[in-house]
């Protein structure tokens, strides 16, 4: 199981309905995108951090390990705004610093990093096994949900197989030299490919033997949408929007 999935299963908000957490997490993401980056995105980022480390109970080290990946993409996307290619009238060289580039790069970085934390708030508190079966009630076709559910469950088995193969190759000195590492990588890909097809065939045979009729039936924990939690989340989002509009003019 991936660390983020393990954290979602052990979250304090695990038993809450996904709608409750979607209103809060995706609401923060929407605010980070729509509000002015200063101070709106900063307020959203701080609020998401407090919620993740406080009420949601996400360990800080685990949050950082998951957050550093989208944060790297945010930084990579903001860096091109610092430079310009070409120029008017042939002055200033072919490549140089863009006018207002640092400001635009900082604004983009604030928006995207805050929006990523909003999505992580939902991901760290909502296991996919709780979310996917409920999508059928939301109008998503059942075959699409079934494919996503099987893919989600099979991915863990495939990752476990890859880890075991790598450990076995390392124990047989398969990573000692560059040539050995390339051979081990090729063998890893071939073995994982064969095992994936073998598991898929066995899964199909097992489902056919159990009278599979095109729909996977799974048990979903019975939870209800909390009107109080949703109302508090909506009030928090409105308060952040209002505070941003109040502080924007003095900070400028």
In this structure, the answer to whether residues 143 and 122 fall within a common structural domain is: no
Tell me the Cα Rg of the chain.
24
Confidence (pLDDT) at 30: 92
In this structure, the answer to whether residues 29 and 116 fall within a common structural domain is: yes
In this structure, the answer to whether residues 87 and 179 fall within a common structural domain is: no
Confidence (pLDDT) at 180: 85
Asked if residue 113 belongs to a domain, the reply is: yes
Asked if residue 131 belongs to a domain, the reply is: no
> CB of 127 within 8 A of CB of 9?
yes
CA 152 to chain centre: 14
Asked if residue 217 belongs to a domain, the reply is: no
Asked if residue 103 belongs to a domain, the reply is: yes
Residues 6+ apart with CB under 8 A from 60: 53
In this structure, the answer to whether residues 49 and 115 fall within a common structural domain is: yes
Residue 75 has pLDDT above 70, yes or no: yes
Residue 201 has pLDDT above 70, yes or no: yes
Confidence (pLDDT) at 211: 73
> CB of 132 within 8 A of CB of 152?
yes
Confidence (pLDDT) at 238: 93
Tell me how many domains the chain contains.
2
In this structure, the answer to whether residues 25 and 143 fall within a common structural domain is: no
Confidence (pLDDT) at 127: 83
Domain that holds residue 61: 3-126+222-251
Angle between helices 227-251 and 42-53 (to 10 degrees): 140
Which residue, among 108, 110, 112, 114, has the nearest Cα to 45 in the 3D structure? Answer: 114
CA angle 15, 64, 243 (to 5 degrees): 75
Other CB atoms closer than 10 Å to residue 40's CB: what's the count?
24
pLDDT band (50, 70, 90) for residue 198: confident
In this structure, the answer to whether residues 52 and 173 fall within a common structural domain is: no
Asked if residue 132 belongs to a domain, the reply is: no
Give the whole-angstrom CA distance, residue 95 versus residue 98. Answer: 9
C-alpha separations of 230 from 21, 93, 222 in Å: 8, 55, 18
Confidence (pLDDT) at 81: 84
Residue 57 has pLDDT above 90, yes or no: no
In this structure, the answer to whether residues 119 and 238 fall within a common structural domain is: yes
202 or 210, higher pLDDT? 202
Asked if residue 134 belongs to a domain, the reply is: no
In this structure, the answer to whether residues 30 and 153 fall within a common structural domain is: no
Q: Point out the least confidently predicted range of 68-72, 118-122, 156-160.
A: 156-160
In this structure, the answer to whether residues 27 and 92 fall within a common structural domain is: yes
In this structure, the answer to whether residues 247 and 122 fall within a common structural domain is: yes
pLDDT mean across residues, the chain: 83
């Amino acid at each position: 199981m991936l660390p983020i999935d393990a954290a979602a299963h052990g979250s304090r908000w695990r038993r809450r309905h996904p709608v409750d957490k979607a209103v809060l997490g995706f609401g923060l993401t929407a605010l980070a995108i729509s509000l002015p980056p200063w101070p709106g995105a900063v307020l959203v980022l701080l609020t998401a951090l407090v919620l993740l480390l406080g009420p949601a109970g996400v360990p800080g080290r685990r949050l950082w390990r998951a957050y550093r990946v989208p944060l790297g993409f945010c930084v990579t996307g903001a860096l091109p705004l610092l430079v310009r290619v070409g120029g008017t009238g042939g002055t200033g060289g072919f490549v140089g610093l863009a006018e207002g580039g640092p400001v635009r790069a900082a604004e983009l970085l604030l928006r995207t990093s805050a929006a990523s934390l909003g999505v992580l708030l939902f991901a760290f508190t909502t296991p996919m096994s709780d979310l996917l079966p409920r999508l059928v009630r939301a109008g998503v076709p059942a075959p699409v949900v079934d494919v996503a559910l099987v893919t989600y469950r099979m991915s863990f088995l495939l990752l476990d197989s890859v880890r075991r193969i790598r450990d076995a190759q390392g124990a047989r000195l398969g990573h000692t030299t560059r040539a050995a590492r390339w051979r081990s990588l090729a063998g890893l890909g071939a073995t994982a490919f064969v095992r994936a097809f073998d598991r898929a065939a066995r899964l199909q045979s097992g489902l056919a033997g159990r009278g599979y009729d095109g729909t996977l039936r799974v048990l979903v924990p019975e939870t209800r949408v909390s009107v109080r939690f949703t109302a508090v989340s909506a009030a928090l989002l409105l308060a952040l929007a209002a505070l941003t509009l109040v502080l924007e003019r003095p900070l400028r």
